[in-house]
Structure 1
Amino acid sequence: MMDEQANKVLELVVFKLKAGVTPEQLLGAVDAVSEWAGRQPGFVSRDLSYSSKDDKWIDVVWWRSLKDAQSAAHAAETSTECAPMFGLIDHESMLMLHGEPATAPASH
């Protein structure tokens, strides 16, 4: 199990919505992006969370390799399936990071 966890790359995207965009609008566009991501080489999983305290969305995607993560991020820029969701995001607020595990995963 540790080898499987160690051989994944995290993609973390934190963002706010554009002024006037509702959470419901975002949630209506999420499934198309998840389906698109699921067809990309190296996709493992995706979770979207919301911080009401900070009014920020937290998108967590796992990939098999950094190359897979970077290739998908590049392809997403011109994807017609991703465009509706990306159009709702305040890109000035967006933080996107890729990281490889630094320690063994902890779980309960």
Structure 2
Amino acid sequence: MNYPKVVELVIFKLKEGVQVDDFINLSHKADQTLQSFSGFYTRTLFYSKTTDQWVDVVYWSDLESAKKRWILCWLYLKLNRLSKELRKNK
């Protein structure tokens, strides 16, 4: 059995105004997308009421696969932000 060799750990709080249900729905969509990436192993999302923080843990088979995913996510976020700006300026 192959075990993941890379663990990606992100700890964060939701931005003010972001609804938890919206975030959870988006997270499920992200899971579906991640499953299509080469090298993806599994993902777990935790929430701490005590600290009001989220912990997102993603396991990858190798570092190269994890890096490629980050580049794609960064581009997606940039395009999404630009799209919102363009709609706001119409």
Task: Please tell me the TM-score bracket, short chain as reference.
Answer: 0.7 to 0.9
**Higher RCO by CA contacts (8 Å cutoff, separation 6 or greater):** 1
The TM-score, its normalising length taken from structure 2, stands at 0.77
Per-residue Cα deviation, 1:26-48 (whole angstroms, up to 9, x for no partner)? 11111111111111110000011
More helix by share: 2
Greater gyration radius: 2
The corresponding residue for 1:79 is 76
Correspondent of 2:25 among 28, 31, 56: 28
Runs of 5+ consecutive residues of structure 2 not aligned to the other structure? 81-90
Distance 1:10 1:35 in 2: 19
- Identity of aligned pairs, percent? 33
Distance 1:8 1:43 in 2: 11
Alpha-carbon RMSD across the aligned residues, in angstroms, is 1.9
